[in-house]
Every structure is written in C-alpha cells, then in structure tokens.
Structure 1
Amino acid sequence: MQDSRIPPFSLALLHPRYALNWLGLGLLWLLVTLLPWRMQMALGRGLGRLSMRILGSRVKIARRNLELALPELSEQEREQTLKANFESVGCAVFETGMAWFWPHWRMRAITRMEGTEHVDAALAKGQGMLLLSAHFLTLELNARQFGLYRPGVGVYRPNTNAVLEYAQVQGRCRSNKYLVNRLNIKGMLKALRQGDALWYAPDHDYGRHASVFVPFFAVEEAATITGTATLARVKNTVTLPCFTLREKDGYRLLIQPPIDNFPVGNDHTDAITSNKVIEDAIRLAPEQYMWLHRRFKTTPEGVPYRY
C-alpha cells in the first residue's frame, strides 16, 4: 500500500498482452487531442445511448437506484434522468481522456472555478484540506481541475492491469502530487497533517465494515462509511466539499465553504452530515451522478436485499 507517484516507464509494459490496452489509450488520446470539446460531448452522448443497449444489467441497477433515491419523480421523469445519465456515462469516457491527456492551458480554458477563497483561507492558516467529493461521472476532472489551483493528493483504487495503472497514475498526477491507496489510512492522515489537500469520495457502499446506516436521499438506512469524520478529526484540518459539474460551455469546479460543526464525534451524526452535503450536490445535476453502482446493496438486519 505504498503511495503512488508518477511511475517510470518499464519495457515490461510493451508486452504483447497489453497491445489492446495501448491501442485503446492511443485512440482516446487521439480523439481528445484532435476533436473540439463540443464534438467530444456529442460523441459521448451517442456512445452513452448505445451503451444502454449493451449494458443491460447496469441500466437495471441505475433505474433501481433512481426508484429508491428519488421516488418523488414520476416514472417518465426517472426514465428521462436515466437516459441523460447514460449519455453522461459516454461523456465520461472523453472526460477521462481530457483529464489524463490535456495540457494545463486547454483544461483551464473550459474550467470555471467557484469558491477558491475557501482554499486561500485554509492555506493562510496552514490547514490540511479534506476535499469531500462524490462519484460524479466527472470525477476524473475534479481532482485535475482542483490541482490547477493547488496541487493535492488523490485517494484511489490501484488497477490490476499494469498499463491502465500506469496511465491512471500518470494522468491523475498531471496537476497533483501523488495518489494514496484507498486502504492506506495512515497515508491519508499523513497528507492532511502535512497541510495537503486530500481528495476523498465516501459515497459508495463499502459494506458493513466501519459503516453506519443513515439516510441518503429517500433511503432511510444506507450503509455509509465513517472514514470521512475520522479524516476530518485530524488536527488543523478543514473539510471543504468539492465537486465538478458539467455545464453547456465547460465545467464548474465548485468548492464550498467548510462544513459547519463537523465532525461532532458521533459516527451517526457525522455520517448524516456528510451524506446530506453529497446529496445536495447531486441534486444540482442528478443525471451526472454515477447511479450505475449498487449504492444501497448493504442492508440492516431484517431488511430485504434492494436489488
């Protein structure tokens, strides 16, 4: 569980078994380099609509998540959101390439930053910054864009494919310092103690371990990890919600004020607070959230499996 900094290139990565990986990465680089942004988004929406015909099981999961989370929507409204969500999935393919391959000047050209004064205030006080984020489909852009203002540290899951691991570490470190394995809690604590900005997205369902059941959208008992409050308790650390939203002419990097009265030291209360912050952000653009994963798969004793 070592920290991942920009790795040196190895000839082992040129093994024939990685040929398709390099071909895919090369094609993605070519498309995001040559095509204008609006064309990439148009192609992405088309790719997303096509994926709905191929990824049947993921469509079912996303539809079920929307039923559970947003019962106030009519069936027609949920289907419209579902379609827009998969269009966003297709756009995310291109956005990953943009985050990994675009030079700084091109990334800045489509990025509008809002709330950088909160980063400035934390820096002036020498505080570590816990960037509370979520699994939006724009997540690859989020850390890249924040790093344009102030390089930080990302929390990630290493890829078992050597070429994809090389590409994602290279890409995610284009404007940031290094990555920390999501299991390396000591590495996260160290980054905050050193005054770094640590990007952290706790909104997936990671099972019962170190989790509590608290509300998330309309689901009253959603398994939610307690790690957010654990990290926020690091001395001289401030928690800043941080999200990237896709807009008509680019992206808005939204850095919100520090969360008031957080953490309080009660796992349930703190998990409710962090979930509410994330929920409010998702409601700004629900079609851009990663509804494809089983967010509500873990249930309390006596509650039936939701999928």
Structure 2
Amino acid sequence: MTNIPTFTPALLHPRYWLTWLGIGFLYLLVLLPYPLLYRIGTAFGRGAKRFIKRRVHIARRNLELCFPDMPEGEREALLNKNVESVGMGLIETGMAWFWPDWRIKKWFHVCGLENISLARQKNQGVLLIGLHFLSLELGARIFGIHNPGIGVYRPNDNKLIDWLQTWGRMRSNKSMLDRADIKGMVRALKNGEIIWYAPDHDYGPKSSVFAPLFAVDRAATTAGTHLLARLGKPAVIPFVPRRLPEGKGYELYILADEKALPLDNELATATYMNKVLENAILLAPDQYMWLHRRFKTRPPGEPSVY
C-alpha cells in the first residue's frame, strides 16, 4: 500500500527536465478560467487528430466493432467528439492534480451520494466501479473529496510521473494499491474501505474470460471482479463522471449497488458486469477511452481485429 510519496533529489536529474517543463506548463495552464480551458482543450484535441493517427484508427475500429448498426456518419461524428475529449482529458488531469477542492466543487454537481452512505451504514466495503473515461482523474478526485477511499493503479515507468500522479491522487484518497495486489484489495474491502477498481480494459489473457461487450461476442474481460466481490463481499457501485457541453462543468453519477451481480462463476460475473459497463459508457460515449485496444486479446485461433 502506497502512502503520500516522498520527493527525492533524484527526480531533479536532467533526464526529467523535459517532464518538469511539461508539468510546469500544465500547472500554469490550469490557472486559467475553466470556460477558457474548455475551449483550449477541445481545440487541442481537434488539432492533435492528425498526429495520433494510430490511436484514431484504434478508436474508429472500436466504435465499428461496438456499434456496427450505427450509421457511419454518426460514428464519425462520435469519433470527432471523442478526439476533442482526448484534449480535454489532458487538461482535466492537471485540474485533478493541481486545483484546490473548492474550485473542483464549484464545477461539479454530484448525484447519488446516498448510495455510498447506504453501504457504509451496513459496514460494507465498497467496490467502486470506475471506467476509463478521459476525465477519470478528475472524476476520482471529486469522488474522493466526498468519500476518500483507496485507489488502484499501475505504477508509471517514469519515476517523476509516478511520483506526481501518486501525489495528485493522494490529495483525495487515503492510499494507493498496485492493481496486482489482490490480497490487499480484499483485505481493504473486508475492513470496510472503498476500493476504486476499473474492470473495463483488456488486461491480457491471464485471469480473463471472454464475455460479450456491446456487439463483440467475446471480449477479454478481467475475472478480478468475480474474485473481489466473492471474497470481499462489498457493495458494487459504479460511478460515471460526465463533462457537460459548452464548458458548463461536470456531473458525477454514483449509481446504485449492483446487488444482482451473479457470483456463480467468473463468466457469469463478467457478462453481467459488461452490461453494467455498457450502460455507464452510454451516459457519455464521446468521453470514453476508445483509443485503447480494448479487443486486442482474442480467443485462440482468432485473428487480430485491428
């Protein structure tokens, strides 16, 4: 378990100077008024489209796979909005790390806090189902302001970025856990803690099952949800941060406990959870991280979809 990280002189090494320059620029940028940040972020996303062609291709292919019946023009419009969200996501990361609590609260409307209170009244831990929305850092920050919990993350290979993101996330979390530390997560849930957990990416064939997701019949889906829910016996509560159009701020939806989550086997849990994820994604499909190779792991013998 990771507590507030200690800054070390090694992070001032010349190898990190370019990273420091980017951090300094981001810090100064997010001092600007939010409506201006919205215009800058969306414009940056549109401008970056030509430089991230590989990622744009992946996002377009994911949308084709998930929504084959959507008219091509609608999918392309959704893709363009998604690219704008990529630009905003960079700025929102800076907002999450550097803004004070009062400024974040000013731009957020939070719905569903009572769903967390109900679980706490029962002395249950909470498996907080987060998704990889492009505003995930900001959504986790506002959630933590109201209900501090334990974040689950993959340590960054860049030591400076790892230090900064851990420091930023600890502003509204109690501690952090490596996503490989399943025992630590179960222990925390049994102790009544809130664990932020994202089961929506393709984490490879190990400990995965193939379950339907949108129009993809067999999507590699982590079996971790089944394990954590079965052993930790938590409330399973999804949450969705949604950016409002035209720079009007954000909404955070904390949804009801998924009490019907089946625990008969890993596939049943994954199939049910993917339906939960679908419904959450559809609350803000333009803001989801479609540029991730969600379907890179295929069943044996199947070719790559990319």
Q: What secondary structure sits across from 1:284 in the alignment?
A: coil
State the Cα deviation string for residues 94-113 of structure 1 (Å, max 9, x = none).
Answer: 10000001101001111111
Aligned equivalent of 1:180: 177
User: Deviation of residue 226 (structure 1)?
Assistant: 0.8
Whether 1:61 aligns to 2:64 is no
User: Deviation of residue 236 (structure 1)?
Assistant: 4.3
User: Deviation of residue 234 (structure 1)?
Assistant: 3.1
Whether 1:254 aligns to 2:253 is yes
Flag as ranges the 4+ runs of structure 1 deviating above 4 A. none
Q: Number of residue pairs matched? A: 304
User: Deviation of residue 232 (structure 1)?
Assistant: 1.2
CA RMSD of aligned residues (A): 1.1
Whether 1:122 aligns to 2:119 is yes
TM-score between both structures, scaled by the size of structure 2: 0.97
Aligned-pair identity in percent equals 51
Aligned equivalent of 1:19: 17
Aligned equivalent of 1:30: 28
Q: Distance in 2 between matches of 1:283 and 1:118?
A: 21
Q: Distance in 2 between matches of 1:24 and 1:126?
A: 43
Note the residue ranges of structure 1 that are not aligned, 5 or more in a row. Answer: none
Aligned equivalent of 2:268: 269
Q: What secondary structure sits across from 2:2 in the alignment?
A: coil
Q: Could you tell me which amino acid in structure 2 is paired with residue 256 of structure 1?
A: L
Answer whether contact 1:229 1:262 (CA < 8 A) is retained.
Answer: no
User: Deviation of residue 264 (structure 1)?
Assistant: 2.3
Q: Could you tell me which amino acid in structure 2 is paired with residue 173 of structure 1?
A: M
Whether 1:103 aligns to 2:66 is no
> In 2 relative to 1, CA 10–81 (structure 1 residues): closer, same or farther, beyond 3 Å?
same
Aligned equivalent of 2:302: 303
Q: Distance in 2 between matches of 1:84 and 1:207?
A: 28
Q: After the TM superposition, which of the residue ranges 260-269 and 175-184 deviates more from structure 2? A: 260-269
Aligned equivalent of 1:210: 207
Q: Could you tell me which amino acid in structure 1 is paired with residue 12 of structure 2?
A: L
User: Deviation of residue 7 (structure 1)?
Assistant: 0.9
State the Cα deviation string for residues 207-252 of structure 1 (Å, max 9, x = none).
Answer: 2111111110100111101101211123441100111111132111
Q: What secondary structure sits across from 1:241 in the alignment?
A: strand
Aligned equivalent of 1:161: 158
Answer whether contact 1:232 1:263 (CA < 8 A) is retained.
Answer: no
Note the residue ranges of structure 2 that are not aligned, 5 or more in a row. Answer: none
Q: Distance in 1 between matches of 2:232 and 2:8?
A: 40
Q: Could you tell me which amino acid in structure 2 is paired with residue 79 of structure 1?
A: E
Aligned equivalent of 2:146: 149
Q: Distance in 2 between matches of 1:31 and 1:263?
A: 46
Aligned equivalent of 2:286: 287
Q: Distance in 2 between matches of 1:216 and 1:141?
A: 26
Q: What secondary structure sits across from 1:233 in the alignment?
A: helix
Q: Distance in 2 between matches of 1:188 and 1:143?
A: 17
